[in-house]
Structure 1
Amino acid sequence: MSGKPPPAPAPKFNLLPKIVNGGIAGIVGVSIVFPIDLVKTRLQNQTIGPNGERQYKSMLDCFKQTYRAEGYFGMYRGSGVNILLITPEKAIKLAANDFFRYHLSKPDGSITLLNQMIAGGSAGACQIVITTPMELLKIQMQDAGRVAAQIKAAGGKVGKRVTAWGLTKKLIAENGILGLYKGVTATAGRDISFSVVYFPTFAILSKLGIRNKEDITPPFWWSFLSGCIAGSFGALAVNPLDVVKTRMQTLTKGSGERQYTGIMDCVTTTMKHEGPLAFFKGGACRMMVIAPLFGIAQTVYYLGIAEYLLGYKRDKIV
């Protein structure tokens, strides 16, 4: 008989606590950064007039105008639908990435960079079933104040305030369930690309924080910093796709603002009238949203709150 000890059994993948952790992480993160996300949406949607005029001069100016016109709670317009749907969205995204990483790992638990990218992209593809309607509804709510301000400035009458439920019923009545999936191709392009960049970057940075072989995860502050850095990098990389997605999903346009027939029309029209820098509108805001959002989300996720509550053993980072 060989003196070698039997190989250690492969760790079991527990999906339930990962889903719960993802949901908790999403709610905590989005509640904190939502006002910045609202500013990001409004900056991405504003177009430059023929004489270079614009509604918001900067991110700070957008904050000031929104607060002045709509008050503190105006900064949270659309947060209800976002908080409601961010739970399944983040649960799917974070849990699916771990699921695909688990099945794409080698027997010794290691995983190649290519497989990390495939796992991340697959997770991004899974989440769009929730992300697309969530983003569609959120954008209408977030951008309503900007359009209303334009109408008031032109001396027009602002219509009845839009609600997420009212908009949902209207879209389903007009186009069925597919009405909630306007811009799904642009959303898929953004989310898959982001996840391909984000998850491998986060995993590499997280491993650097593990000093002892016995440690399952790095310190919580290292997870937070890793999420922030990876989120910032991923957000900036895919910002052009986010601009296109936001414009494609904005149903109510302001006076003189352009409508787009498809993704390529949006890209070519934006390039023609606003130049390449238009694709980085709201980039700083997006980085300020995504960095703490994913920093907070990954910290909550890797603290293993659900494992503690449900009595599961925590998994080691691979």
Structure 2
Amino acid sequence: MPQDFQLLPKIINGAVGSMTGVACVYPLDFVKTRLQNQQIGPNGEKQYTSIADCFRKSIRNEGILGMYRGISVIFLLVSPEKAVKLAANDYFRFHLTQTDGSLPMPHQMLAGAAAGCFQVLVATPMEFIKIQLQDAGRVAKDGRVTERITARSIFAKMYRERGIFGLYRGIGPTAFRDILFSLIYFPLFAGINDLGPRKANSEDAVPWVSFLGGLIAGCTSAFVVTPFDVVKTRLQALKKRAGEQEFHGIMDCFVKTWRNEGITALFKGGLCRIMVISPMYGIVQTIYFLGVGEAICDKLFK
């Protein structure tokens, strides 16, 4: 690796930024999962009628802390996931940059897609466990979770029944979602970031430009890949309410969802997903470019 590319500071930047972003938007992610897993009944009945209704019912039945169910798993795994994704994108961009300093759009997209591939390896088990924890109250009869469901119990049950590969249930749609997301997100963010004013005596953009770039790029990418996120969520949700369909693979889930609930069902939770992803990536990118990792490494290794 070239000596002027420092990987460790970028990993630290990604970890700190992602944990901060997740803490800010996690309740919205909780609601997004519930809305995506909800299937319309034969008479058009719905458990949740809107984002606000899902918030209200979830808080009433499970309390404020219930909205943070599964966040410990995210904190444990989100750091390597987002850190690897952001650092990998920079790594590939660095090596794909041409000798004249330019980085053609196909190279930017390739760097983003490669970063998404690395993300999938970490994201799939994390998302699988998170969805079981977030969806527990929805599948309970009255919305309350009577048995204690923990990340450890989910991991142990799946490992016992299907081995370590059981945690990679839903890896197909996760790969489609994350690789396509990164392929769109990183070139778009870089384009927006390059348009803004620079810091004094620096080539880096001012913080508000990085925040705005993360916001817009995150919003656009999140909307485009929402159908894959819906399919992934439904395939990873093991427990169903009475009368809900089972799915056997990506195409089966796409076809049944479209046929029984319409095309709009593939964008369920889309607004909520945008409300989660857009500010989270704005926060992540702002902190990433503030250079927290560089400061930490300077103190540790000087």
TM class by shorter chain equals over 0.9
**In the alignment, which residue of structure 2 is the partner of 1:307?**
294
* 1:108 to partner: Cα distance: 2.7
Asked if 1 retains the 8 angstrom alpha-carbon contact of 2:137 and 2:145, the reply is no
* 1:69 to partner: Cα distance: 0.6
Residue 275 (structure 2) pairs with residue 285 (structure 1): no
* C-alpha distance after superposition, 1:142-185 (max 9, x if no partner): 0111111xx138xxx96522111011011111111101100011
* 1:215 to partner: Cα distance: 2.5
**In the alignment, which residue of structure 1 is the partner of 2:96?**
104
Residue 60 (structure 2) pairs with residue 68 (structure 1): yes
Asked if 1 retains the 8 angstrom alpha-carbon contact of 2:227 and 2:267, the reply is yes
Structure 2 CA distance for aligned equivalents of residues 279 and 214 of structure 1:
47
Among candidates 215, 220, 223, match of residue 202 of structure 2: 215
* 1:217 to partner: Cα distance: 1.1
Among candidates 233, 239, 242, match of residue 246 of structure 1: 233
Task: Within 5 Å, give how 1:138-217 maps onto structure 2.
Answer: 138-148=130-140, 151-152=141-142, 160-211=147-198, 214-217=201-204
Among candidates 11, 14, 17, match of residue 19 of structure 1: 11
SS at 1:253's partner residue? Answer: coil
**In the alignment, which residue of structure 2 is the partner of 1:316?**
none
TM-score, normalising length from structure 1?
0.91
Structure 1 pair 310/268, CA: closer, same or farther in 2 (3 Å)?
same
Amino acid at match of 1:128: V
* 1:210 to partner: Cα distance: 3.2
Task: Within 5 Å, give how 1:250-261 maps onto structure 2.
Answer: 250-261=237-248
* 1:212 to partner: Cα distance: 7.3
Cα RMSD for the two superposed structures: 1.6
SS at 1:152's partner residue? Answer: coil
Structure 2 CA distance for aligned equivalents of residues 80 and 311 of structure 1:
29
Identity value in percent = 53
Among candidates 66, 70, 83, match of residue 91 of structure 1: 83
**In the alignment, which residue of structure 2 is the partner of 1:134?**
126
SS at 1:77's partner residue? Answer: coil
* 1:11 to partner: Cα distance: 7.5
Structure 1 CA distance for aligned equivalents of residues 296 and 99 of structure 2:
29
TM-score, normalising length from structure 2?
0.95
Structure 2 CA distance for aligned equivalents of residues 219 and 11 of structure 1:
26
Amino acid at match of 1:271: W
Structure 2 CA distance for aligned equivalents of residues 11 and 174 of structure 1:
46
Structure 1 pair 296/212, CA: closer, same or farther in 2 (3 Å)?
closer
Residue 230 (structure 2) pairs with residue 271 (structure 1): no
Larger Rg: 1
SS at 1:92's partner residue? Answer: helix
Count residues with an aligned counterpart: 298
Structure 1 CA distance for aligned equivalents of residues 137 and 152 of structure 2:
18
Amino acid at match of 2:61: A
Q: For structure 2, which runs of at least 5 residues remain unmatched after alignment?
A: none
